[in-house]
Amino acid sequence: MDPYDGLVLGTRFERKWDPIRRALGYTRRYANRVNLAAMVPHNDLASTRYCLADPGAGYLVYLPSGGEVSVDLSAARGRLAVEWFDPTAGRASAADGVQGGVRRKFTAPFSGDAVLCLTARTT
């Protein structure tokens, strides 16, 4: 996926591929935190219509323009950890956890693209 060797798309280590490399790293970060293999598109669970979820266990919601999103957490029986990720800056920030069991509204703490990560707490 990364033409780092220069054999396919040009010279080695072209800077134009840096955003792709960063995005792959961000994806890996979340793949290590949630069971990405168990997540499937559940666009009906988020008002933005961009949601990967293993209902009750984990949710990744994309907000293409930031702002507010409503997420159906009916399948979640306990508390969920909440984290916002700013893909432009490459920074994540934790927010107060929420109780599952109902539909909840979340507002991105920054402007632009945003990813909301909700994970069931194990303790």
Report pLDDT for 11. 64
The three-state secondary structure class of 122 is coil
Mean pLDDT in residue range 66-80: 97
**Whether the Cβ atoms of residue 37 and residue 50 lie closer than 8 Å to each other:** no
Mean pLDDT of 88-95: 93
β-partners of residue 119 are 58, 81
pLDDT of residue 100: 97
